[in-house]
Structures are given as structure tokens and as C-alpha cells.
Structure 1
Amino acid sequence: MDSLRGFDGEETIVDHDDSEHSGVETPIAIGADERRMHVRAYNHWASLLSGRAFPSIEDLEPDAVEDFGPNSVLLDFTAGAENPTIAWLGHRLRRECALDESVVSVADVPSRSLLSRLTDHYLQIIANRAPIGFEAEFMSQAGVNTLYRGILMPYSSDGDTIDFIYGVINWKERVDPAIEAELVLEVEQAILSAPRSAGHAPIWADEFGEVEPDADFDADDMQGPDIPVVDADAGLADLLDAARQGADAVRVADGRSRAALYRALSLAYDFALIAAARPQEYAELLEDSGLKAQDRAPMTPIVKLVFGVDYDKTRLTEFAAALAHGHRQGLGVGELLGALERFPGGLKGIVKAERAARASAIRPPRGEVAANQLRQMTPQAIIELDSGEGEFVVLVARRVSKRGLAVLGAVLDDALVERAMLKAAK
């Protein structure tokens, strides 16, 4: 069985029929990397709430979340809860489960695949109406003992009804117990023989909440690299180096200085503006760094270049939102720093405002998108029938032969027609 934990600390045990599995799943210890992905996914969900019971599905862009998007699945319940469709499946999860394009709903998911570890729990999250995390191990179809940790999070199209569920899962294959014991022994011996150092707690909490920087602490009170001034005439690589020096100052301050952070973000924004004017140079920098430009999230590669791809992913997402807000407001070189200092709530306020602006952006209704797709389809047959005045109707037919259908009449129900349109347009 899986061990499911809600984020209020309450634990729920969900039993499975073990006839399809080789043994009972038992809770296991998952490493820090897997736990951090789990936490970052929850933090991302919480950041989209904006005072609502559930985040809006319109705010979720799994293809733009490089951190855990490839390890995720999005279930769509708009056509019914009995067999939700798979609206998104990350490439890493699809590859791990060896799934092709024929897997389009929960019913198509192989029972002993890693993806089934997520989809088996979707009814529990509807009942709990809250995110649920779980961890366990199981024997895959390939006979590999796999450790995994996952989380399921509810989304809504109207703010109240759970009609989408987003799941994120991380996994690793378990090594032979004898080899594992030997490795653990070596690590313990290395830790015991290592010199002790005086550590400090990170100011940015690696948990569900977040600790705000100390407003009374400033990097100027510490010895660290000077914050450079951007010279627009310099080469783009030099400008990137200047922005990275700003990011280094944030690290020297251990994230406790708003002043250092705001200066670093301003330098990153200035670099982004100049990079946009020098696309060839920027493309070369991205290629050298192993990054790709993103049309839907153009500031994400910028903050990764400046702060590093190994920087906390949740913070990088916030930094990219702040830079995007500056671009949305038409700020010029050197102007983001003042905007951060003046904006109510500082960085947090700007990030919230940018996410609200994205949420309010005009998107075509899903019914309109489906209608446009249906208008482009080739008709299978044209018949004369009294079917009301609507452009789309649902017809009821009776099969009279292998390929013959006798059309009996039209169903004039707007809600049923819209659901059928959404289903037919997928």
C-alpha cells in the first residue's frame, strides 16, 4: 500500500488490490532530491492560489515548468470522472513508462507502470479536496524495484469544482541491498572522518512556507563583490558576467539582503533587454550554456544564465516573473531596481501582480477552440433532419450493420452538446 500524506499533517492509508502487483507496496525513505521536487511542486501550486480554494487551470503551464514538468501528468475531468483524459504527460514520465500516443485516458494506463502510481489515487484527491503526497516502492513491469515519491494537486476551471488534477512524481531504481549497505557504510565513514565546520540555517526555507529576508541586514555590511554598472556598449558575454557578479553578491549575503537581490535582478533585467537587441549573441550564449529560448517563458533562460541552473527552482520562477513584469510595464535599462523598491510588497508584490496579469490575459474559451477544430474536420455525411437552430447538435443513431448507422434524431441539450464538442475535438 502507499502511504499518503496530506499537507495538514494527517496521514491516510489507501489499500490497493494486490492481485496485479508482486507484493504489497510499503512506505520507504526517499532521498532529499526527490523530496525537494515534491516540495517545489507544492509551492508552485500554492503560489497560484491567489486567495481561491483551488488554483485556476488557466494558470498552469506544465510545458513551461522545466523543473518538474517532464515528470508530471495532468488529468482532465471535464468529460466525466469515471475515466479522465490525460491532457498533459511529461516526456520523461512518458519515456520511463514506454507509453505511446495511444495512451489518452486513465483507462489506457498500464496497471504496473510508474504512471499508474499517480493515476490510481485521483479519486482520493477529489474526496480530500487538497493536495496529497505519497511515497512507496513497487516492482515494475520490467521487474525493477523502483522507489518513488509523488504528489497530486487539485485545479479548477471555476474556482470551486475540481475538474483537473496535476500530479508530479520522481523515482529511482533501488540497488541491490548488499551494494546499498556497502555504499551507506562508506558514506558514514566519510562523514565521520570529515572536519567539522560551523554551519548556518538557510534563510530561504526548503519547506512549504518561505522565510522572508531580514530587512535590517544588507550585503553592503559584508565583504563581497562590488555590484557593477551595466555598460550597454560592452559585449553580451561581458554584460552577462556583470549580472552574474550581482547574483554572486546575493549568495555572499545568503539571500538575506533585499538590496543585493534587487540590484541583481535589475542587472539581470538590463541584460535581458540588451540580449533581446542582440539575438545572435544571445543564441550563442544559450547554446554554450546548454539552454534553450522559450517563447512562452522568455525570462526563464535569462535567470538561469545569471543565477545558475542549479539555483532554487522556485526562486528562479519568481525572478523570471519579476523580469517579465518589468518587460510588461515597458521599463528600460536601470529602471527595474526602482520599481522593485517602490512596489507595494517588493518582489513578492510584483510576482503576485505578474501572475494576476497572466491569469487575466484573454484566452479563447475552450468551447470556441473546440468549435474551430470541428469546423475544419471533413464531414462524414450530410443529412436533412429537423435539429433546431444551433450550429452543433448531438445525434442519436442505431447501428443497423457493421458500417451502417440509422440516425434517429437530435438531442437539443446545450450542456451535452458542449461536452460532446470538447470530446470530439481532442
Structure 2
Amino acid sequence: MDGYLPSSATAEPEQDIDQVIGTDERRMHVRAYNYWASLLAGRDFPSIEDLDPTDVRDFSNHSLLLDFTAGSADPATSYIGAALRDECDLADEVRTIADVPPRSLLSRLTDHYMQIIANRAPIGFEAEFTNQRGRDLCYRGILMPFSSDGETIDFIYGVINWKDGSAVPQPRPDPVPQGDVLDLTQPLDVEEEEPALVLDDDSGLADRLSAARETAEVLKAADGRSRIALYRALSMAYDFSVAARRVPDDYAEILDDAGVKAQARAPMTPIVKLVFGVDYDKARLTEFAAALAHAERLEIDFEGFLPFIEAFPGGLKGVVAAERDARRPEPRTDTRADRARSRLRSAHAQPLSSLAGNDEFTLVLVRRDAQGRVEPVSAVTDLALLEKALRRVA
């Protein structure tokens, strides 16, 4: 906790939650997101070194800092704000995510951390649930990625606000798809919470397609300018393609539902259309399909595409160029030249005087026999070849 968030923050009075939720321009998660965005400076992620404790005092009581530097399986809870600790009845025993009580408000934050790893972008979420005291809470939160090296997400900072859901009845809105970044300037709505989407080897094909599309939406939101977002989206698309080969009937049904045709000569083209959309830039789709096809050519397996493309010389452009080279047909053998070589091997050697003719210059073909001796065998009478040879010599 020390060095990231102020210890003095725990002494500050807790803010009035109803006021926090009800005031648009002062809403806690909006301020948190604006602060995160102000640190980007053209990067994909802010540096953890730029997370200044003095800048987050007004929402640090309701915040959490996760530290992945020791591994992503069970990240450390480097900081938990005082108001969040009080609401969750936490003592000092919570050191990692594994220690977080499952029916606590804190678990509402930590349950979403894998979506940050998958989407590599801030995630907003809102729901209602029954806490460990049996009280129904309405909450809204946001998780934001930080990095120590500019590329790896090794810290996540989260902010959450809440209120007693039974005290203020609200209409139920249409569900918000998990993984979407919410419009963080709108009032708190309530929805039934769905579990965060975490893929494993048993995940269905439709789930993989949904996850891949989410990462593609993150890329589109960045106008395609984020290399990290692009490679992550391609990685998810490739994993979907690997899974599709294993369940061809399910894949055919998905293609039919989407109105996308399978292509025997370009099997990755339907994949990228499903993930990025049929209306996505055609040139980019062609590049994406070529990159996925080259990974398939090299038999890259599940979760192997991201390290593959990051290590490939030239990145995406290099992979696309390699695939195009691999598709070029082998040069055809000139059978006429082979026949000519065969005849010349058996031809009798000729004296130079008989081959020189009467012209000033003559192009003569010689051969080297098995003993290494050089013998003239024929004169080249093509004047164009003679002129070309003269220019080359000159």
C-alpha cells in the first residue's frame, strides 16, 4: 500500500454515498476515469509511477489497487480503502484476491479483473447484489489498467460506490453486455449481475466469438491505433479459429446465422469478418486473415498467437509478408533449358577458330568436363544476346 495511496486517506471522513451517486459532474467513477485518462500521455496505459496519492484522495476511501508483479493467478491487494474495508467487514487478513470474501462488495471489483486482462482497457460495470449482511446493494464501479513498462498490465486500480438498493427503488434497464465500457456519465442503473467472461479450454465457440468481438470493439474505440489492442484482438480471433476447427458443425451454424460464407481457399477470411465485422476496412481484414493463416501454417496453438506475433520480426506487417511469400508458387522449371544442357553435355568440343566466325566479336559457350577441363562447344548467334553480353562486360 505504501507508495501508491496515501495512508492519511484512511482518516478522511467517508463521503455521503447518495450525494456521490446523484451528482453527475462530481460522480466518483467519472473523476477516477478522467484522472486515469489524464495520465495516458499517448500511451496505451498510464505508468504506475504516475499514480499520485495526492490526486486520488477524494475517492481513495472507495478504491482498490491490485498488484500483478508476483503473478496474475492471485494478485496482491496492495491497497483497500477505508470505506470499502468497513463495508466489507475486512481486517488485515486480505492480502491477495484469494482472501477476498466471496459475498463482499470487494468481490464485485475483483471478480472483473480478468476482463481488464482480456480487453486491455478500462472496464465499467454496475449491478445489484446481496452482501454478507443480507442487504441488497446497488453499486457502480470501474477498473483501470496501469503498467510499469508501458506494455504489461501489472497493476489495476479500481473505484466503486454503492448504496442500499432497497432504500431507493429504480426501474430495471436493458442488460449491459459484460465487458462493455459503460457510459460513465449516466446515473446509476441496476441490473442483475452476470459473471465476468473468463475463457478456458472448455469454453463454447459462441463464448469465444463473443470475447473476440469485445476485444475488437476495444480496438475500434482506439481507431485502430493501439498495437497492443490490435494484437490482443487478433489473438482472440485466432483462438476462436482454432476452436472452430474442432467443432465444425457449430462453426457452420455461426456462419449461417451471421450470413457469412465459408471460403475453402481463404478460411481465415470468414473468421475475421465474424470478429471484426463485415463492414470493417477490407484491406485490414485481408491483412488480419493473412496473419491468422500464417500462424495456422506454423501450427500455433491456443494462446500462442500473442507471443508469436510479438516476437515475429516486423510484427503484423512481417507476418503478413511471410504469409504472402509462402503463398507464391514455386518457380517453374525451364524444361527447354534442361534439354539443352543435356545435349551440350554430350556434344563434341569445337576449336575456337571454327566458332569465332568472321565478325569482330563472337559469344562462345564453353563447358567444364568431369576432369575440370574447359572446352568450347557452341557459338551463340543471337545478336541481341551478344549486345547484352558486351554491355555487361563494359
Choose 1 or 2 for highest CA Rg. Answer: 2
TM-score over 0.5 for the pair: no
**TM-score range for the pair, normalised by the shorter chain length:** 0.3 to 0.5
- With structure 2 as the length reference, what TM-score do the two structures score? 0.37
